[in-house]
Amino acid sequence: MPRIIHNVDTPALVIDETIAQSNIERFQRHCNDAGLKLRPHIKTHKSIHFTSQQLEAGAAGITCQKIGEAEIMAAAGADDILITFNILGAEKLQRLSKLASVITRLAVTADNATVIEGLSATFADHTRTLHVMVECDTGAKRCGVQTPAEALTLAKLIETLPGIEFAGLMTYPDKLPSNVPLQFMRDTVAELSAAGIDCPDVSTGGTPLMWSAATEGVFTEYRIGTYIYHDRSMLERGICEESDCAARVITTVVSRPTDERLVIDAGSKVLTADLLGMEGYGHVVDFPDATVTGLSEEHGVLQVSADNPLQPGDQIQIIPNHVCVVSNMFDQVHLIDAQRAIKPMSIDARGKVN
Amino acid sequence: MPRIIHNVDTPALVIDETIAQSNIERFQRHCNDAGLKLRPHIKTHKSIHFTSQQLEAGAAGITCQKIGEAEIMAAAGADDILITFNILGAEKLQRLSKLASVITRLAVTADNATVIEGLSATFADHTRTLHVMVECDTGAKRCGVQTPAEALTLAKLIETLPGIEFAGLMTYPDKLPSNVPLQFMRDTVAELSAAGIDCPDVSTGGTPLMWSAATEGVFTEYRIGTYIYHDRSMLERGICEESDCAARVITTVVSRPTDERLVIDAGSKVLTADLLGMEGYGHVVDFPDATVTGLSEEHGVLQVSADNPLQPGDQIQIIPNHVCVVSNMFDQVHLIDAQRAIKPMSIDARGKVN
């Protein structure tokens, strides 16, 4: 008989709800104890169901990266949303304006005057104020102002312009521990204070540094996504154990062309080509001899030892390198509840590129 | 005024129909001249619209990788479909059986006895015969039998079992020119012939080797996907010119945090992390100084020269590294017709993982 893990058509993304719930609650307790507001990023699960669980556990609000994600979560009841992205262009600004009307508090980030001026022009006559945080580049080398002086300039601009309100500072720190984010934020808050500008919030985040999340006398809020499912990148960093990994790709061996090569029905259209600095495309559970050495769109190629028992028809489970991007590849996940029953659930905000 | 290429909300995938049509017709002529049946792979466009154009231009049928893709194309009128994948498992076999009932000719590939036995068990009492090709590994090191002798064994098994019929040999060759596929296929056809087994078709394919596609006295059919849109990987191999690239990602500059760093609103959720052995995540049209050095899910980071004129709000267009996987990231593309009018079109078979 073939090895069957779950009665699902493969490839499938299966989420153990008990593990996900435990991950939500454990980090909520960490933030409560640390005196940090927790603002989970929905990009990992893209799901109304899990957004609700995060809010019920005590989250202060949610983080989205796209207006399309925020619209879906707002319709489902999320009423305090931060979109951590520079919003530009007439169509997006119009959607942002509509979104602000239907929730209690909407905030965005900005790192340049063009963005801030567009936001102000849109919200100048709005019944609601848009909260704008200044994004600071503290080492991740993506968006963000480069110096506290630049942050001050933008905060002043926000304070000057109508329709928008300065809501504080935001950074997405580099994945490795560093004193730069703390120092940058301390210096900026001091400069703001010297200029008579109050800084309501200082928001940082990231799953890689989750267990050292603390206010350090500056930070007020932590944004985090991957922690709900975890993945191979967190496993390899020692942030979680295999038993904390709630999301697994169930895939079927479709071929064993040689003694040491298996082919599975999960390729880059499922596992994605994200390496995140690692070798191979996922952690094969139960088979330490197996490594996913290559992916094409619908095939995964595994190197195994010659005595590996897997044959065509057998299922295996893979903890993906980067689970957020894998959530985006499926129209639905399969949830396993505490009674081990399995049921499909739509990924509500999958594929929201705008 | 910002630089606007198309009046679309970004990121967007834009397809120039005139270029796509020209790519379809040009390679159809090549195959006609070479005496090869052309069987385009729909994985690149995943679209009923372009499937119809390929069939109208003279394609003998289509290739799909997933049953879900084939179901959609069958419903739209494709009636000769080859699924180049080992189909296993009760749910997939049942769908395959239904699919066979509604089209003229359904074929699949197989490279092991487990798959062939499952196909026969499903089709033994079917009103239609399932055509089964034996997949041969001629250097791509994915699926496929390793020797002509193994191919002969499987062909004999197919001939022996009820409900299925041996339809020939199939290979997905390595991307670099090699004599192995030709030699492997010649040897296998000879072994089959010596055993009294007719080999109706020998199918090969791949855009990288498209311009040398020829029967060479053995091959009867060519399968090809990327050629309709082309992409950076084909551009770098010299298979096409920039003007042959029908698919471009339109993206907006959202930040210029430093003189030499731009951030765009297209990340791995749009461009994907596929490198295909290249450096950087796409070819930036019009700005030879710009390289896409990094992607996170919603951000692309570009290195540019300090005198690059791009600023937040400007659009740029990127020819992606691997266009097939990019098609899968969007719910819709925007088509540009011969009059330069632009209109959205659903990507019908996007996200069909099963």
| Per-residue pLDDT at B286 | 98
Determine the 3-state secondary structure of A138 from DSSP: coil
Contact A311 B114 (CB under 8 A): yes
Place of tokens 């879906």: A72
Residue type, A277: G
**Omega within 30 of 0 (cis) for the link into A11:** yes
What would the two tokens of residue B173 be? 């060759």
Residue type, B159: E
- Angstroms from A128 CA to nearest CA on chain B: 24
Residue type, B67: I
Nearest to A185 by CA among A225, A214, A212, A158: A214
Q: Which residue has the tokens 């080859």?
A: B82
Amino acid at B341: A
Q: Do B143 and A257 touch (CB under 8 A)?
A: yes
Task: Supply the Cα-derived Rg of chain A in whole angstroms.
Answer: 22
**How far is the alpha carbon of A273 from chain B, nearest alpha carbon, in Å?**
5
Inter-chain touch B111–A65, beta carbons under 8 Å: no
Beta bridge partners of B204: B222
Burial profile B189-212: b = 16 or more Cβ within 10 angstroms, e = fewer: bebbeeeeeebebbbbbbbbbbee
- A257 CB near a chain B CB, below 8 Å? yes
For chain A, the domains span: 17-229, 233-346
pLDDT value of position A279: 97
What letter would DSSP give residue A13?
E
ipTM of this model?
A: 0.97
Query: Are B354 and B68 within 8 A, CB to CB?
Result: yes
How far is Cα A192 from Cα A5, in angstroms, rounded to an integer?
Answer: 56
The closest alpha carbon to A234, from A195, A166, A283, belongs to: A283
Based on the number of CB atoms within 10 Å of its own CB, is A293 exposed (0-12), middle (13-18) or buried (19 or more)?
middle
Q: Provide the pLDDT for residue A211.
A: 97
CB B104 within 8 A of CB B79: yes
- Cβ-Cβ pairs closer than 8 A, A with B, add up to 157
B10–A89: do the CB atoms touch at under 8 Å? yes
At the fourth CATH level, the homologous superfamily of domain A17-229 is Alanine racemase (3.20.20.10)
pLDDT for res B114: 98
d(CA A154, CA A126): 21
Which residues in chain A come in under a pLDDT of 70?
A: none
Nearest to A298 by CA among A10, A7, A9, A45: A10
Minimal CA–CA distance to B242: which of B285, B304, B212?
Answer: B285
Give me the residues of A, 12-71, that contact B with CB < 8 A.
Answer: 43, 65-66
Alpha carbon distance A77, A95 (integer Å): 17
Contact predicate B270/A354, CB 8 Å: no
Residues whose CB is less than 8 angstroms from the CB of residue A277 and which lie 6 or more positions away in sequence, other chains included: none
Using the beta-carbon criterion (under 8 Å), do B9 and A265 form an inter-chain contact? no
pLDDT for position B309: 98
Interface membership of A9 toward B (CB under 8 Å): yes
Spatial separation of the C-alpha atoms in residues B310 and B307, rounded to whole Å: 9
Q: Which residue, A120, A117, A82, is CA-closest to A99? A: A82
Q: Which CATH number fits domain A233-346: 2.40.37.20, 3.30.70.240, 3.20.20.140, 1.10.3720.10?
A: 2.40.37.20
DSSP β-bridge partners for residue B16 = B336
Q: Would the CB atoms of A146 and B263 count as touching at under 8 Å?
A: no
Could you say which architecture CATH assigns to the domain B35-228? Answer: Alpha-Beta Barrel (3.20)
Pairing status of strand A291-295 against strand A247-258: unpaired
**Whole-number pLDDT of residue A260:** 98
Cis link prior to B11 (omega < 30° from 0)? yes
Q: Which residues in chain B have Cβ-Cβ distances shorter than 8 Å to A141?
A: 261, 294, 301
> pTM of the predicted model, to two decimals?
0.97
Strand partners, B136: B145
Report d(CA B253, CA B9) in Å as an integer. Answer: 13
Structure tokens at B200: 């109706």
DSSP states along B6-37? SSSPSSEEEEEHHHHHHHHHHHHHHHHHHT-E
Whether A39 and A59 have beta carbons less than 8 Å apart is answered as: yes
The number of residues making up chain A comes to 354
What is the token pair recorded at A11? 């490839």
SS3 (DSSP) at B54: helix
Q: Which residues of chain B have pLDDT under 70?
A: none
Residue B181 structure tokens: 């596929």
